């Protein structure tokens, strides 16, 4: 009888560690996602601790220019004025520049590490801004309804019509290429997709049976919002964020590639920009940053795909 | 249905207005006004700054209040007075007129390539779900959407142009646009732009097909005694096409235009992307704005057509 | 309609002596359809035996998930083939075993000799084609008619189903029709090649009572006018008494009893059938609680050993827990699979 009079222990609800643990278990079963996550973690470590061990990426030394990566060698033909002929020497890679150097003698490994910092920073920050804005606008539109919804959605439609990259180029052209501006611009232009998705999710949640059921059980408005609606939206937000990061990283790389990146920083795109002109003499400068970009984007895509499956209650894992 | 079309047209006009207004606002928020930049260029050529400044201000009406500027800006654009490109020494519209065909050709060819291959592979992948064919296609499409398009272009040039020497590493404009030689030198650019699109279309098609393969009307079709190829090729496909059309057209506007811009730069194709790129480094803002606006209006047009096409294709919407 | 190149299997003659055999149109014996999934083998159909006679309506009755729909799909091999597979059993039609015959032959039978209608007409009809086109498609697949003949046949089918303005209806899309109209259009489509057998999978579950009555009356007419054999799948016992001549009770993928409807209602043999009948609320008696069968149906992945009903059976014996009962004749008209009635006469 004393059992019945004890206050029932609160069964926690909302998005808490138990729910997160459940999703993590499901995600773990997707091996590709884990590989992607591992690579991203590696990249983050590299970005944080790499610069401590690597050389200065901006340091130019024309004595070691155009060195191939370790294990490769390249033929160099140098015109010798004295003998009036070409002498061909074979230049092998060296262990102190394991990934080679570019045409100004800058160490490739150092530049790639510096590039990883930029890509991850831009990726995370710009995506954060975009998703935050998009969620804000989407939720606002869904809840306010009426003319607020109308105006916000027309504005979203207008912004969505601009081709993303063309708009980026235009704004960076107007405002000038600095890292802060690039992050801000990508964030302030990339929110449209998120806004649409969040708004439709919020609208549909409002009328779903489980919401009506919890209200029928007596739940208050805030309880409904926090314990029922937000957990369902959070998973969408996480998936969207993860899948937006590749696009953001590629956008920054593309901007840097066409010369509109931050001239003070070494991003992978900037390296590619210099590399495209020396593809016959120093092909690795064009190849290596691209491989890094590819692997990074691939990892986020694997992770995002796995997250999407993990969060989907209909998929059998 | 007709009222829907009219509503949609009015809506597009509103969006168009919004696009022009936003562009106007963007142009005015820069730290340096377009005039200052123009002036810097003129100063570099040694002319008298003050007189040039006054002439420009008079011409562009920059000394007038902002509302008046806005109205004359809108007026000019609508009348086709899109400004003068000082880096190319011709009206902006002429510049666009002589270069748009290259962009059009590139985008057309790569989109056709991507749709034909992408949709077929996607269908195959869906029908043979979880077999080796499906896994191979999935891997290929993951890779395809993760490779940066411009880097793929560089790699294609590196392998096929530099190392193997099969193609020239620069674009030769002397051939007529639809001639065989020109098409031949478009192979690499079309691949560079098209492979990314292709990979995306494979995924979309596969997903759209899978969604429909499990539907009940497929069982009904089989119960009627129809051969499997009719069940898949007619019943499933006709339903899968609906979301596919929307998403392919949407991709066209948001991703392909950006991709084409970069591909033109990598391969030296003198399309609008290249034109805009050159203008950026000459600070010729009128051209940059013009190319952006053209791209945006094209997207608007594409969105409008997609809506109309979709309404036509889906009887549930056509007959309401 | 029936192929002349195949001779009836003599084994089938011996196994099944339920009734006069020469008017049996379909014979299902020992059918097992299993689905091989990542979580295990789903034994959706695990021992189904029944025979369908010409002009009769046989009801497959059972609770949700007992395997009756999969049984219906198995007759024409319409289930998803990986992961599903007919692991055992025979489906004899016209002397040919449909469970193992080549697909090309099966396609000739589908829609022409044996037709099927489904529960939900909105999802069973293709939303992007007109109803008329879908009917014409079926007519043209099995050939023989010119276009105008086919169109007039489609029109008369819709009229037979009492669909008003049949000419206009042909040009309508499914979503433009009401629920009842769609259902009747689907039945019309299934009749377009004059099949011998109509399989109806819960055709009245998704419609309201008035439409239900219409459909039942249509089915009665089909039996009377076309002498059509009908397999009617339902979970509703009242429907069984309205439309059925005989009933096969399905539990956990097995047919546990087959008998005329009168017999099932008045003298059920199998304890599960007894339980089902006793669950029917009787308005004439005073009852405070509605009786129900304790426990719940087994998960098809995890079927109990022996008789699948033994955990819930009020008359369970030791043998029931380990040995699966065989399907035997109780009388010329009634057969059941239960250890209480092991007569030794194979059903």
Q: What is the residue-averaged pLDDT of chain B?
A: 86
pLDDT at B111: 94
Mean pLDDT of A57-62: 76
Please name the member of A170, A275, A302 whose beta carbon is closest to the beta carbon of B26.
A170
Whole-model pTM: value is 0.85
**Residue B311 pLDDT greater than 60, yes or no:** yes
Contact partners of C by the rule of 3+ C-beta pairs under 8 A?
B
Cα nearest neighbour of C124 on chain B: B217
Spatial CB neighbours of C178, under 8 Å, sequence gap ≥ 6: none
List of chain C residues whose C-beta atoms are within 8 Å of the C-beta of residue B132:
none
Contacts of B216 in chain C (CB under 8 A): 118, 120, 123-124
List chains touching B (3+ CB pairs under 8 A): A, C
The pLDDT mean for chain A works out to 83
B170 close contact with A: CB closer than 8 A: no
Q: B310 to chain C, minimum CA–CA distance in Å?
A: 12
**What span, in angstroms and rounded, lies between the C-alpha atoms of A205 and A300?**
28
Per-residue pLDDT tens digits for A152-178: 999 999 999 999 999 999 999 888 888
Q: Would you say how long chain B is, in residues?
A: 320
Which residues pair with residue C248 across a beta bridge?
C60, C258
Say how many C-beta atoms besides its own lie within 10 A of residue C254's C-beta: 27
Q: Give dist(CA C151, CA C131) in Å, integer.
A: 12
Give pLDDT tens digits for C223-265: 888 889 999 999 888 888 888 899 999 998 999 999 999 988 8
**Confidence (pLDDT) at A284:** 87
- The C-alpha of B120 sits at a distance from chain A's nearest C-alpha, in angstroms, of 23
Residue of A168, A202, A200 whose CA lies nearest to A187: A168
- Of residues B51 and A311, more confidently modeled: A311
- Residue B107: the pLDDT is 94
CA distances to A1, A3, A4, A217, C56 from A8, in Å: 14, 9, 9, 17, 60
Query: Which of A69-83, A95-109, C310-324 comes out lowest in average pLDDT?
Result: A69-83
Contact C291, C279 (CB under 8 A): yes
pLDDT over threshold 60, residue C329: yes
The closest CB to that of A258, out of B151, B257, B265, belongs to: B265
User: Which residue, C81, C86, C45, C40, is CA-closest to C62?
Assistant: C45
Spatial contact of C243 and C216, defined as CB atoms under 8 Å apart: yes
B288 interface with A at CB cutoff 8 Å:
yes
Q: Identify which has the larger pLDDT, A133 or B61.
A: A133
Q: Looking at the complex, does the CB of residue B281 fall below 8 Å from at least one CB of chain C?
A: no
What residue spans of chain B are helical by DSSP H?
2-28, 34-44, 49-60, 66-79, 92-127, 132-146, 149-156, 180-185, 187-213, 216-223, 228-230, 237-251, 257-267, 272-281, 285-313, 315-318
Share of chain A above pLDDT 90, in %: 32
Rounded average pLDDT over C57-66: 89
B100-109, C12-21, C288-297: the lowest-pLDDT one: C12-21
* pLDDT, tens digit, 9 for 90 and up, residues C67-102: 899 999 999 999 988 889 999 999 999 889 999 999
Contacts of C189 in chain B (CB under 8 A): 224
Q: Which of A39, A161, A280 best probes binding to B when mutated, by most B CB atoms within 10 angstroms?
A: A161
Confidence check: pLDDT of A54 > 80:
no
Which pLDDT does position B37 carry in this prediction? 64
List the single best residue of B220, B239, B244, B316 to mutate versus C (max C Cβ within 10 A). B220
> pLDDT at residue B124 above 90?
yes
pLDDT tops 80 at residue A210: no
**What are the structure tokens assigned to C276, written together?**
């089902």
Contact list in B for residue A161 (CB cut-off 8 A) is 15, 19, 253, 296, 299-300, 303
pLDDT higher than threshold 90 for residue A27 = no
pLDDT digits (tens, 9 = 90+) for C125-172: 999 999 999 999 999 998 888 999 999 999 999 998 889 898 999 999
φ, ψ (nearest 5 deg) of residue B171: -95, 125
Distance from the first to the final alpha carbon of chain B: 9
| Residue A83 φ/ψ region, left for φ over 0, alpha for ψ in the -120 to 50 degree band, beta for the rest | alpha
| pLDDT tens sequence across B183-240 | 888 999 999 999 999 999 999 999 999 989 989 999 999 999 999 999 999 999 999 9
- Identify which of B130, B221, B315 has the shortest CB distance to residue C127: B315
| pLDDT of amino acid A5 | 53
Of C115 and A92, the one with more pLDDT: C115
Q: Does B275 touch chain A (CB under 8 A)?
A: no
Give the mean pLDDT of C167-188: 92
- Cβ of B71 under 8 Å from any chain A Cβ? no
Nearest to B225 among C128, C142, C173 (CB): C142
Report pLDDT for A232: 72
Q: For residue B221, give the 3-state DSSP assignment.
A: helix
| Mutant choice from B148, B250, B252, B262 vs A, greatest count of A C-beta within 10 A | B148
The bridge status of strand C84-93 relative to strand C24-37 is antiparallel
Q: Would you say A165 and A252 are in contact if contact means Cβ atoms under 8 Å apart?
A: no
Spatial CB neighbours of C207, under 8 Å, sequence gap ≥ 6: C179, C180, C183, C215
**Chains contacting A (3+ CB pairs below 8 angstroms):** B
Of B154, B162, B258, the CB nearest to A280: B162
A3-7, A223-227, C11-15: range with lowest mean pLDDT:
C11-15
Q: How far apart are CA B146 and CA A247, in angstroms?
A: 9
Q: Would the pLDDT of A146 be above 80?
A: yes
Comparing alpha-carbon positions, the chain A residue that sits nearest to B11 is: A154
Span A178-202, average pLDDT: 89
Residues in C closer than 8 angstroms to B310, CB to CB, are none
- B75 lies within 8 A of chain C by CB: no
The minimal CB distance from B314 to the residues C107, C128, C186 is found for C128
In whole angstroms, how far apart are CA C228 and each of B224, C57, C81, C112, C197?
A: 18, 8, 29, 13, 6
Q: Which residues of C touch B238 (CB under 8 A)?
A: 126, 128-129
| B162·A161 Cβ contact <8 A | no
At C287, give phi and psi (nearest 5°): -135, 140
pLDDT of residue A9: 53
User: Chains A and B: how many Cβ contacts under 8 Å?
Assistant: 131
Of the given ranges (A216-230, A249-263, A295-309, C324-338), which has the lowest mean pLDDT?
A: A216-230
> C4 pLDDT band (50/70/90 cuts)?
very low
Print the SS3 string covering chain C.
CCCCCCCCCHHHHHHCCCCCHHHEEEEEEEEEEEEEECCEEEEEEEEEEEEEECCCEEEEECCCCCCHHHHHHHHCCCCCCCCEEEEEEEEEECCEECCCCCHHHHHHHECCCEEEECCCHHHHCCCCCCHHHHHHHHHHHCCCCCHHHHHHHHHHHHHHCCCCCHHHHHCCCHHHCCHHHHHHHHHHHHCCCCCCEEEEECCCCCCCHHHHHHHHHHHHHHHHHHCCEEEEEECCHHHHHHHCCEEEEEECCEEEEEEEHHHHHHCCCCHHHHHHHHHCCCCCCCCCCCCCCCCCCCCCCCCCCCCCCHHHCCCCCHHHHHCCCCEEECCCCCEEECHHHCCCCEC
Select from B31, B40, B151 the residue whose CB has the most chain A CBs within 10 Å, as the one to mutate to test that interface: B151
- State the Cα torsion C188-C192-C196-C198 to the nearest 10°: -30
Percent of chain B with pLDDT over 70: 89
pLDDT above 70 coverage of chain C, percent = 92
Comparison of pLDDT for C346 and B298, the residue scoring more: B298
Bridge partners for B91 per DSSP:
B84
H-helix or E-strand spanning residue B186: none
- pLDDT for C15: 42
Say yes or no for a CB contact (<8 Å) between B285 and A298.
Answer: no
Q: Which residue of C has its CA nearest to B227?
A: C107
Residue of B nearest to A276 (CA): B154
**Of the segments A55-59, B31-35, B75-79, B125-129, which one has the largest average pLDDT value?**
B125-129
Q: CA–CA distance from C59 to each of C72, C188, C236, C257 (Å)?
A: 11, 21, 10, 12
Which one of A75, A130, A158, A190 would you mutate to disrupt binding with B, by most B Cβ within 10 Å of its Cβ?
A158
The residue written with tokens 């249509």 in the block is C218
Question: Would you call B224 and C124 a contact, using CB atoms and an 8 Å cutoff?
Answer: no
C118: chain B residues, CB-CB within 8 Å: 216, 219-220
Contact B258/A165, CB-based, under 8 Å? yes
ipTM: 0.88
Angle among Cα A17, A18, A22 to the nearest 5 degrees reads: 115
Higher confidence at residue B90 or residue A121?
A: A121
pLDDT of residue C20: 43
Q: What is the pLDDT of residue C18?
A: 43
Residues B34-44: tens digit of each pLDDT: 556 666 666 66
Choosing among C103, C124, C199, which should be mutated to test the B contact, i.e. which has the most B CBs within 10 A? Answer: C124
In angstroms, the separation between the Cα of residue A30 and the nearest Cα of chain B is 14
The whole-number average pLDDT for the span B296-308 is 92
Task: Report yes or no: B21 at the C interface, CB cutoff 8 Å.
Answer: no
Q: Which among A15-24, B156-165, C195-204 has the top mean pLDDT?
A: C195-204
Prior bond of C83 cis (ω within 30°): yes
Task: Indicate if the pLDDT at residue B53 is higher than 90.
Answer: no
Nearest by CB to residue B225, choosing from C111, C126, C129, is C111
Average pLDDT, chain C: 85
């Amino acid at each position: 009888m004393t059992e019945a009079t004890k206050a029932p222990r609160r069964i926690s609800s909302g998005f808490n560690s138990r729910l997160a643990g459940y999703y993590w278990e499901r995600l773990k079963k997707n091996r590709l996602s884990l590989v992607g996550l591992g690579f991203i973690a590696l990249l983050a470590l590299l970005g944080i601790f790499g610069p401590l061990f690597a050389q200065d990426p901006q340091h130019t030394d024309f004595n070691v220019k155009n060195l191939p990566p370790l294990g490769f060698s390249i033929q160099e033909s140098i015109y010798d004025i004295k003998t009036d002929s070409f002498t061909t020497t074979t230049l092998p890679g060296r262990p102190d520049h394991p990934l080679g150097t570019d045409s100004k003698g800058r160490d490739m490994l150092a530049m790639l590490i510096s590039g990883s910092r930029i890509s991850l920073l831009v990726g995370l920050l710009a995506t954060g801004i975009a998703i935050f804005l998009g969620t804000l606008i989407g939720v606002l539109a869904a809840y306010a309804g009426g003319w607020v919804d109308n105006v916000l959605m027309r504005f979203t439609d207008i912004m969505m019509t601009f081709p993303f990259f063309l708009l980026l180029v235009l704004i960076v052209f107007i405002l000038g290429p600095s890292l802060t501006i690039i992050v801000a611009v990508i964030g302030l232009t990339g929110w449209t997709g998120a806004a649409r998705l969040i708004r439709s999710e919020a609208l549909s949640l409002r009328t779903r049976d489980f919401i009506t059921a919890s209200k029928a059980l007596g739940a208050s408005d805030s309880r409904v919002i926090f314990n029922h609606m937000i957990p369902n939206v959070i998973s969408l937000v996480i998936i969207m964020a993860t899948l937006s990061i590749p696009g953001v990283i590629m956008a920054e790389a593309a901007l840097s590639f066409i010369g509109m990146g931050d001239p003070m920083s070494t991003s992978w795109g900037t390296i590619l920009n210099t590399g495209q002109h020396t593809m016959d003499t120093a092909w690795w400068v064009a190849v290596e940053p691209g491989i890094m970009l590819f692997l990074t984007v691939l990892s986020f895509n694997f992770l995002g795909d796995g997250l999407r499956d993990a969060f989907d209650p209909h998929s059998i894992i | 249905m007709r009222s829907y079309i009219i509503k949609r047209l009015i809506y597009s006009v509103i969006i168009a207005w919004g696009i022009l207004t936003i562009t106007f606002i963007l142009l005015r928020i820069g730290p340096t006004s377009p005039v200052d930049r123009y002036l810097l260029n003129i100063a570099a050529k040694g002319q008298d700054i003050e007189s040039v400044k006054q002439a420009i201000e008079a011409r562009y009406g920059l000394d007038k209040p902002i509302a008046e500027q806005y109205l004359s800006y809108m007026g000019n654009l609508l009348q086709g007075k899109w400004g003068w490109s000082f880096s190319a020494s011709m009206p902006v519209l002429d510049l666009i007129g002589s270069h748009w065909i290259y962009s059009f050709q590139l985008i057309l060819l790569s989109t056709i390539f991507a749709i034909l291959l992408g949709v077929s592979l996607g269908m195959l992948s869906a029908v043979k779900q979880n077999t080796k064919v499906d896994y191979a296609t999935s891997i290929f499409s993951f890779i395809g959407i993760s490779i940066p398009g411009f880097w793929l272009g560089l790699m294609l040039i590196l392998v096929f142009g530099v190392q193997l020497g099969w193609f020239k590493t620069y674009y030769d404009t002397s051939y007529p646009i639809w001639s065989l030689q020109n098409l031949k030198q478009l192979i690499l650019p079309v691949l560079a732009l098209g492979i990314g699109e292709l990979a995306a279309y494979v995924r979309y098609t596969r997903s759209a097909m899978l969604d429909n393969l499990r539907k009940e009307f497929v069982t009904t079709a089989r119960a009627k005694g129809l051969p499997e190829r009719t069940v898949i090729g007619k019943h499933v496909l006709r339903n899968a096409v609906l979301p596919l059309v929307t998403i392919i057209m949407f991709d066209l506007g948001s991703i392909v235009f950006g991709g084409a811009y970069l591909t033109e730069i990598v391969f030296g194709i003198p399309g609008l992307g290249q034109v805009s790129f050159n203008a950026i480094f000459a600070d010729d803002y009128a051209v940059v704005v013009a190319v952006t606006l053209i791209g945006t209006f094209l997207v608007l047009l594409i969105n409008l057509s997609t809506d109309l096409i979709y309404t036509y294709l889906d009887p549930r919407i056509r007959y309401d | 309609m029936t192929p002349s190149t195949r001779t009836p299997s003599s084994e089938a003659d011996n196994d099944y002596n339920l009734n006069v055999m020469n008017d049996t149109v379909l014979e299902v014996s020992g059918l097992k359809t299993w689905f091989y999934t990542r979580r295990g083998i789903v034994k959706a159909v695990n021992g189904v035996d029944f025979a369908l006679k010409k002009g009769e309506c046989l009801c497959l009755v059972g609770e949700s998930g007992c395997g009756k729909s999969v049984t219906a799909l198995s007759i024409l091999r319409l289930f998803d083939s990986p992961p599903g597979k007919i692991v055992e059993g025979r489906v004899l039609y016209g002397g040919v075993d449909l469970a193992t015959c080549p697909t090309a032959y099966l396609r000739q039978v589908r829609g022409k000799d044996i037709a099927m209608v489904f529960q939900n007409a909105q999802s069973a009809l293709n939303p992007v084609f007109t109803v008329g086109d879908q009917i014409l498609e079926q007519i043209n697949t099995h050939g023989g008619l010119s276009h105008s003949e086919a169109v007039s046949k489609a029109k008369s089918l819709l009229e037979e189903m009492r669909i008003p303005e049949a000419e206009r209806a042909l040009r309508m899309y499914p979503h433009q029709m009401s629920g009842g109209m769609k259902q009747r259009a689907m039945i019309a489509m299934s009749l377009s090649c004059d099949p011998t057998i109509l399989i109806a999978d819960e055709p009245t579950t998704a419609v309201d009572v008035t439409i239900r009555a219409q459909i039942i009356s249509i089915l009665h007419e089909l039996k009377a006018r076309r002498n059509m054999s009908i397999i009617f799948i339902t979970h509703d016992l009242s429907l069984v008494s309205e439309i059925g001549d005989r009933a096969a009770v399905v539990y956990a993928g097995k047919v546990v009893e087959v008998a005329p409807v009168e017999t099932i209602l008045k003298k059920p043999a199998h304890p599960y059938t007894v339980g089902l009948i006793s669950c029917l609320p009787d308005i004439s008696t005073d009852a405070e609680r509605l009786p129900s069968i304790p426990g719940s149906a087994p998960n098809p992945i995890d079927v109990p050993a022996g008789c699948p009903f033994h955990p819930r059976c009020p008359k369970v014996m030791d043998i029931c827990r380990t040995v699966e009962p065989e399907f035997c004749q109780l009388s010329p008209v009634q057969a059941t699979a239960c250890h209480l009635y092991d007569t030794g006469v194979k059903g």
